[in-house]
Amino acid sequence: MTIIEAHNISKRFGDITAVEDLNLEVDEGEVLGFLGPNGAGKTTTIRILAGIIAPTSGYAVIAGHRTDGEIDSLHEVIGLLTDTPGFYEKLSARRNLEYFGGFYSNVDVEAHVEKYLKLMGLWERRESRVGTFSKGMKQRLALARALLHEPKVLFLDEPTAGLDPEAAQEVRELVKRLSNEGRTVFLSTHNLTEAEQLCHRIAVIRTKLLALDTGLNLRHRFFRREVIIRLVDPSITIVDAVRKLTFVEDVKEEDGQLIIGLIEPDKNRPELVKAIVGASGKILEVSEREHPLEDIYLKLIREEK
Amino acid sequence: MGRKRIVNILLKEWQFLFTDINTTLLVTILPLLIIGQLILCIWLAVNFAGESALNITIFQNALANLQRATPEVALLSGGERFQVLLLSQFSFYMLLIPVMISVSVATFSIVDEKLSGSLEALLATPVKTWELLLGKALAGAIPSLIVTWICSGIFLLAVRAMGWGYLLDMVMTPVWFISLFLFTPAVTILSFLLGVIGSSRAKDAKGAQNLVLLVVLPVLALIALQISGIIWFTAFSALIMAFGIGVVDYFVLRVAVQLFQRESIVVRWR
pLDDT tens sequence across A51-90: 999 999 999 999 999 998 878 889 999 999 998 889 999 9
* Position A237 pLDDT exceeds 60: yes
Residues of B in contact with A54 (CB under 8 A): 263
With cut-offs at 50, 70 and 90, classify the pLDDT of residue A305.
Answer: low
The Cα–Cα gap between B133 and B196 comes to 7
What are the beta bridge partners of residue A59?
A: A7
Q: Which of A52, A88, A102 sits opposite B16 (nearest CB)?
A: A88
Q: Mark yes or no for CB contact B12/A78 under 8 Å.
A: no
Collect the ranges in chain B with pLDDT lower than 70: 1, 50, 53, 212, 215, 268-270
Concatenating the DSSP letter of every residue in A192-253 gives: HHHHHHH-SEEEEEESEEEEEE-HHHHHHHHS--EEEEEESS--HHHHHHHHTSTTEEEEEE
The Cα–Cα gap between A178 and A166 comes to 19
Task: Confirm or reject contact between B124 and chain A (CB < 8 A).
Answer: yes
pLDDT > 90: percent of chain A: 49
Residues of A in contact with B262 (CB under 8 A): 52-53
- Closest CA relative to residue A228, chosen from A274, A179, A272, A191: A272
Q: Which of B8, B116, B128 sits opposite A87 (nearest CB)?
A: B116
Q: Mark yes or no for CB contact A102/B262 under 8 Å.
A: no
Q: State how far the alpha carbon of B258 is from the alpha carbons of A56, A69, B146, in Å.
A: 19, 17, 29
The ranges assigned to domains in chain A are 2-219, 226-288
A162 or A142: whose pLDDT is higher?
A142
Q: Which of A54, A91, A145 sits opposite B121 (nearest CB)?
A: A145
Q: Mark yes or no for CB contact A103/B121 under 8 Å.
A: no
Q: What is the dihedral of CA B179, B185, B187, B191, to 10 degrees?
A: 150
Amino acid at B161: A
pLDDT digits (tens, 9 = 90+) for B141-159: 898 899 999 998 998 898 8
CATH of domain A226-288: 3.30.70.100
B211 or A176: whose pLDDT is higher?
A176
Q: What is the pLDDT of residue A26?
A: 96
Q: A103 and B125 in contact (C-beta within 8 Å)?
A: yes
Nearest 5 degrees, angle CA A165-CA A167-CA A170?
110
Q: Mark yes or no for CB contact B125/A73 under 8 Å.
A: no
Residues of B in contact with A75 (CB under 8 A): 124-126
CATH of domain A2-219: 3.40.50.300
- This prediction's pTM: 0.82
pLDDT digits (tens, 9 = 90+) for A243-276: 888 988 888 888 888 889 888 888 888 998 999 9
pLDDT digits (tens, 9 = 90+) for A151-164: 999 999 999 887 88
Matching fold, domains A2-219 and A226-288: no
Q: What is the pLDDT of residue B38?
A: 82
User: How many CB pairs (< 8 A) connect A and B?
Assistant: 79
CB-CB neighbours of A69 under 10 Å: 12
Q: What is the pLDDT of residue A11?
A: 95
ipTM of the complex: 0.81
pLDDT digits (tens, 9 = 90+) for A25-35: 999 999 999 99
With cut-offs at 50, 70 and 90, classify the pLDDT of residue A304.
Answer: low
